[in-house]
């Protein structure tokens, strides 16, 4: 009996790893598309990615896979880890079989057209170039929601892809509670003198910024023997296995923060991918828990650590070694206040920790309405501009700094944006838990010891892969499920110090 189970499980493992091989081969082509692909290569690259996506999907949803999974599920001599892999694969199989291979190919081809249209639209600074390819994606996403099935709202089907069980009602309630508390903190800040940050907007040499960013990644223990960093239009992280993780960043020579925070943000994503168990390659337990938890890792390193006073107590001399002229006469305290300046801005990825959530709320509301049909692709610029004025009090000057700033829609990633805010809330809660475990945490960071944080995350988050859903992994790690009060307490303390009365 045991031998039969072993043989079945090995067959399952082999099959899943072969499917992963095809998926990651496609991911390599997608990474290349956003970093080094020649302009004329786009059409054929779209075909190649679509073919591989279709092949992987067909291999996973065929009847033999279903029979194998059903037989394995009936066995009672699997280990807990093996049992969980099978359970999760059955969930994935049942969901994937609802999507015909022809639909997967059509979506992949539409995404390729949409991505290249987005690049061109940003270059020309006009949404009209992107409107029709994006509308095709929206219609396919509506179709996908119908194929997958949902209760109450079509957006639920898509959000479930990024955080299992996440729903419109959950996010609506979360944002309704968060919004007034954020506004109260912002109101207190507005009553205080604004901090200065003019020195962050000087000219910063591109090559020096790159070298500085690479050194920062090393200092948070990103393993360059198991990854690399490159330049792309929009920063992102992808992986082909836990020993091959790719980060990208972008550099603005007139804005120090653009590259610095994208390096730390994507570095957080990369550390998570490098911490997933290599022994589970191709299996659910070798994959990340959810996008919300993934975002918690990036926001923790970017904000809780990277915008913290302790971090710069150690790293400020490194900064001066690259930019002594630019930061001449600027104290570490001035620098710390500047990088945490709270002020409404146009670009989500450059926003402060407080106003950031309003960027997310606007995108969430927009996507929700596109999926329910109360808004259409042609309505996006007007809705965007109106709500940036309403929520953030700023006028959007053009499409590139408005509704064309994010790559997500061109990838077909509808349902993603709420996880940015949820990830920030998880980050504050996890950081508080690390602090309870290690009371000397801030002293460690101030001495350049970031391994304390990474070791805790490896033990409490990374090693589990998808074993637990978001709420449960948070409960296991912190003693309770998501509690937004941790973020409010963190933000109140941090900004009360920066904007002293």
Q: Where are the alpha helices (DSSP H) in 328-440?
A: 332-339, 356-372, 380-392, 418-437
Average pLDDT over residues 388-408: 94
Give the chain's largest Cα–Cα span. Answer: 74
- Alpha-carbon span 42 to 37, nearest angstrom: 7
- Alpha-carbon span 399 to 118, nearest angstrom: 11
- Alpha-carbon span 207 to 248, nearest angstrom: 15
Tell me the domain boundaries of the chain: 168-498
Q: Where are the alpha helices (DSSP H) in 278-355?
A: 291-299, 309-323, 332-339
Q: Which two tokens stand for residue 306?
A: 């990277």
Question: Residue 501 — pLDDT band, cuts 50, 70, 90?
Answer: low
**Alpha carbon of residue 456 to chain centroid:** 20
Q: At what angle do helices 356-372 and 128-148 cross, to 10 degrees?
A: 70
pLDDT score of 237: 94
Bridge partners (DSSP) listed for residue 246: 228, 238
CB 295 within 8 A of CB 423: yes
244-249 β-sheet, strand order: 227-231, 244-249, 237-241
- pLDDT tens for 342-373 read 999 999 888 899 999 999 999 999 999 999 99
Q: Does residue 337 surpass a pLDDT of 70?
A: yes
CA distances, 435 to each of 81, 456, 460, 484 (Å): 30, 10, 14, 17
- pLDDT tens for 238-289 read 999 999 999 999 999 999 988 999 999 999 999 999 999 999 999 999 999 9
- pLDDT tens for 72-99 read 999 999 999 999 999 999 999 998 889 8
Which residues have a Cβ under 8 Å from the Cβ of 485 and sit 6 or more positions away?
none
The CATH number fitting domain 168-498, selected from 3.20.190.10, 1.10.1370.30, 3.40.50.10440, 3.40.109.10 = 1.10.1370.30
| DSSP characters over 103-160 | HHHHHHHHHHHHHHHHHHHHHHT-THHHHHHHHHHHHHHHHHHHHH--SS-HHHHHHH
Which residue of the set 54, 266, 287, 302 is catalytic? 266
Q: Does residue 45 surpass a pLDDT of 90?
A: no
Determine the Cα angle at 204 with ends 360 and 297, to 5°. 35
Average pLDDT over residues 382-391: 96
- Alpha-carbon span 253 to 204, nearest angstrom: 5
Q: Which two tokens stand for residue 81?
A: 């880890």
Burial label, 100 (beta-carbon count in 10 A; 0-12, 13-18, 19+): middle
pLDDT score of 53: 87
Q: Does residue 181 surpass a pLDDT of 90?
A: yes
CB 412 within 8 A of CB 133: no
Mean pLDDT of the chain: 94
pLDDT score of 43: 81
CB 470 within 8 A of CB 292: yes
Instruction: Tell me the percentage of the chain whose pLDDT exceeds 70.
Output: 99
Please state the pTM of the whole predicted model. Answer: 0.90
- pLDDT tens for 113-168 read 999 999 999 999 999 999 999 999 999 999 999 999 999 999 999 999 999 989 99
pLDDT score of 433: 98
Q: Does residue 27 surpass a pLDDT of 50?
A: yes
Burial label, 124 (beta-carbon count in 10 A; 0-12, 13-18, 19+): middle
pLDDT score of 3: 58
Bridge partners (DSSP) listed for residue 239: 245
User: CA quadruple 127, 130, 134, 136: dihedral positive or negative?
Assistant: positive
- Alpha-carbon span 422 to 175, nearest angstrom: 10
pLDDT score of 234: 78
Q: Does residue 54 surpass a pLDDT of 90?
A: no
Bridge partners (DSSP) listed for residue 237: 247
Average pLDDT over residues 168-185: 94
Q: Is 266 a catalytic residue?
A: yes
Among residues 421, 452, 423, 422, the alpha carbon closest in space to that of 435 is found at 452
- What is the 3-state secondary structure of 410-467? HHCCCCCCHHHHHHHHHHHHHHHHHHHHCCCHHHHHHCCCCHHHHHHHHHHCHHHCCC
Residue 235's SS3 state is: coil
Average pLDDT over residues 438-463: 97
Question: Residue 1 — pLDDT band, cuts 50, 70, 90?
Answer: very low
């Amino acid at each position: 009996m045991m031998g039969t189970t072993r043989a079945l499980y090995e067959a399952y493992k082999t099959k899943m790893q072969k499917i992963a091989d095809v998926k990651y081969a496609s991911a390599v082509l997608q990474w290349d598309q956003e970093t080094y692909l020649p302009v004329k290569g786009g059409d054929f690259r779209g075909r190649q990615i679509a073919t591989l996506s279709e092949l992987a999907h067909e291999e996973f949803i065929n009847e033999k896979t279903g029979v194998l999974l059903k037989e394995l599920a009936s066995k009672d001599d699997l280990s807990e880890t093996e049992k969980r892999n099978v359970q999760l694969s059955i969930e994935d199989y049942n969901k994937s079989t609802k999507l015909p291979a022809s639909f997967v190919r059509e979506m992949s081809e539409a995404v390729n057209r949409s991505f290249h249209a987005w690049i061109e639209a940003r270059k020309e600074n006009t949404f009209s170039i992107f409107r029709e390819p994006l509308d095709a994606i929206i219609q396919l996403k509506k179709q996908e929601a119908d194929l997958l099935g949902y209760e109450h709202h079509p957006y639920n089907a898509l959000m479930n892809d990024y955080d299992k069980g996440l729903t419109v009602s959950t996010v609506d309630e979360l944002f309704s509670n968060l919004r007034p508390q954020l506004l109260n903190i912002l109101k207190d800040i507005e009553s205080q003198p604004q901090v200065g940050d003019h020195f962050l907007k000087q000219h910063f040499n591109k090559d020096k910024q790159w070298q500085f960013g690479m050194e920062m990644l090393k200092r948070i223990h990103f393993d360059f023997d198991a990854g690399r960093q490159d330049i792309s239009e929009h920063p992102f992280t992808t992986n082909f296995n836990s020993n091959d993780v790719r980060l990208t960043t972008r550099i603005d020579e007139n804005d120090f923060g653009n590259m610095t925070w994208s390096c730390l943000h994507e570095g957080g994503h990369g550390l998570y991918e490098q911490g997933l168990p290599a022994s589970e390659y191709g299996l659910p337990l070798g994959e990340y828990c959810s996008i919300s938890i993934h975002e918690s890792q990036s926001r923790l390193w970017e904000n809780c650590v990277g915008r913290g006073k302790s971090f710069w107590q150690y790293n400020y001399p490194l900064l001066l070694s690259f930019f002594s002229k630019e930061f001449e006469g600027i104290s570490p305290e001035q620098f710390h206040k500047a990088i945490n300046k709270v002020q409404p801005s146009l670009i989500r990825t450059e926003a402060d920790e407080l106003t950031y959530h309003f960027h997310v709320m606007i995108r969430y509301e927009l996507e929700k309405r596109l999926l329910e049909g109360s808004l259409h692709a042609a309505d996006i610029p007007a809705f965007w501009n109106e709500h940036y004025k309403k929520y953030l009090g700023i006028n959007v000057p053009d499409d590139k700094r408005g509704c064309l700033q994010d790559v997500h829609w061109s990838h077909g990633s509808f349902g993603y944006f709420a996880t940015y805010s949820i990830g920030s809330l998880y980050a504050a809660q996890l950081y508080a838990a690390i602090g309870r475990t290690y009371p000397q945490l801030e002293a460690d960071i101030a001495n350049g010891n970031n391994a304390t944080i990474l070791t805790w995350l490896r033990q409490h988050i990374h090693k589990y892969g998808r074993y637990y859903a978001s709420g449960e992994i948070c409960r296991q790690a912190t003693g309770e499920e998501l509690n937004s009060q941790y973020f409010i307490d963190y933000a109140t303390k941090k900004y009360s110090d920066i904007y002293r009365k």
